[in-house]
Structure 1
Amino acid sequence: MVFLLEHFDLAAFVAATLAEDLGEAGDITSAAVIPAAARFTGVMDARDPIVVAGLPIAEAFFRALDPDVRIDRLVEDGTAVAAGTDLMRIEGAARAMLTAERSALNTVQHLSGIATMTRGYVDRILGTGATLLDTRKTIPGLRVIEKYATRMGGAQNHRMGLWDAAMIKDNHVAVAGDIGEAVRRAREAGIARIIVEVDRVDQIEPALAAGATHLLLDNMDPPTLRDAVAFIGGRVPTEASGGVRLDTIRAIAETGVTYVSVGRLTQSAPAADIGLDFAPA
């Protein structure tokens, strides 16, 4: 099955990642220690309970170095698995698999870590009616796959970049002069989605009057959020953002906001503990 993500070139990502690892000399350890004809089988497994993400990308690393490798993916991305679960079996040229191992594991560990943290936040707000969003706080160059991982964890993607919606924040307002003027300029530019950050209830009406289509309620405590949501009265979607943690997100979600966005999903998720153990075929 071909793995396709919009705005993500899998072949280029794999090639660049392997080139970074191989340098000019290549995998000198495998070349020296492993006979050219040797074959190995290996099993990738979860050492902790995780939500899996990135297995198709890991597969691409192995196939890039051994097109004839046999790979059996045992679970699908987005699956929650217990510690000890086998995720993938591979059989192919030993040198190729050992060379690709670190790049493949790094990717799956990183993306599964994001998916696992995301699922924890999603589970915490079940039943509130609020939807979890990610943010643009991603590692440069990895945004598309990190946001893919949040989807595997159950979140929805916020803006993919600066191009797919306007987000007017405090610095934009400071330069434009006021919230209403900033929003008017965005509307005059023909922008359909205009997200406006407000940190006080008195900023809400000017933003809505000027044409905001989504309000980001920044760093408000739950009582203030509840008042803001009541004042907005469903005129536009609302988003709580700023300093949201696992221990605070449910109280935030229960205020009636449409969305809660969490930067730490991509900014702070620890890598999942996933291993790859080889045995002679």
Structure 2
Amino acid sequence: MPDIGTVLSTIVSGMLLGGMLALTALGLSIVLGVMRLVNLAHGDFLVAGAYAGLFFLKITGVDPLLGLPVIAFFVAALAFPLYRLLLAPLAERGAEAQMMTMFAVSIILENAFVLGFSADTRSIERDYATLPLTLGPVTVPLIYVIGFAIAVTLILAVHWLISRTRFGRDLRASAIDAQAAETLGVDVKRVQMVTFALGAACAGVGGTLIGAAFQFGPSSGAAYLLNSLAIVVLGGLGNVLGTLVGGLLLGFLQSLGGLTLGDGYRDLVGMALFLLVLAFRPDGFLARRRS
């Protein structure tokens, strides 16, 4: 049996990691809420953010966490032409055609990563990435704490954007009823384009944070896409703060699974929970019940 310090450290580490993953899942959630699109290339946007952080460090010598606005802009700029050239023309054919298109984009991006960076795993090497932070019996990696703080700050910023601004009002109206919103003067296509880019930016920033904590490679996106889907289902579709809670919950349960079953079963616990919630609460475990 592990000692209490090990148990607490594992659980806290899992929840901090869950908070970082929640930022990535938020991008998937808002795209799904507004466009009704499961973006199967979302994990590849995360990998793009990780590579962008790595090369930002090599080119400028500046810590990529300080360059997150630049990285977010870069990944969002990658998303804009994908929407304009591929998704917008397919809008009338339904989300299925768009989803299959993004599946093809995912394959193309993964192969582009292999051609451009090789199939080798990389990491954003920083001194603080290997430093521990100890508070009483709890010891966690410092990068988890830094990444969690950045992720929560950005999630709260997106919550403010959606709940307090005119764009957020248009986004919420488009998510509820796109046709009615368009009748009332909302430029739904513009809202969808900006939302798609915002979702990609969230994934890119999350990718930089994860790239500073873990190794990554061209095919790493698939695992993070699955985790993001699980968090979206837990937190409720389009629920910004629910996404954060869903990430913390997933991190907590995965850490418990790792403690009781072994580290090899962490992802199994998350996927089992995902299927259970999808079966019994398809709107999300934390989604508001409809009257």
Which has more strand, going by share of residues?
Answer: 1
Give the TM-score of the pair, scaled to structure 1: 0.25
Q: Which has the higher contact order (CA 8 A, sep 6+)?
A: 2
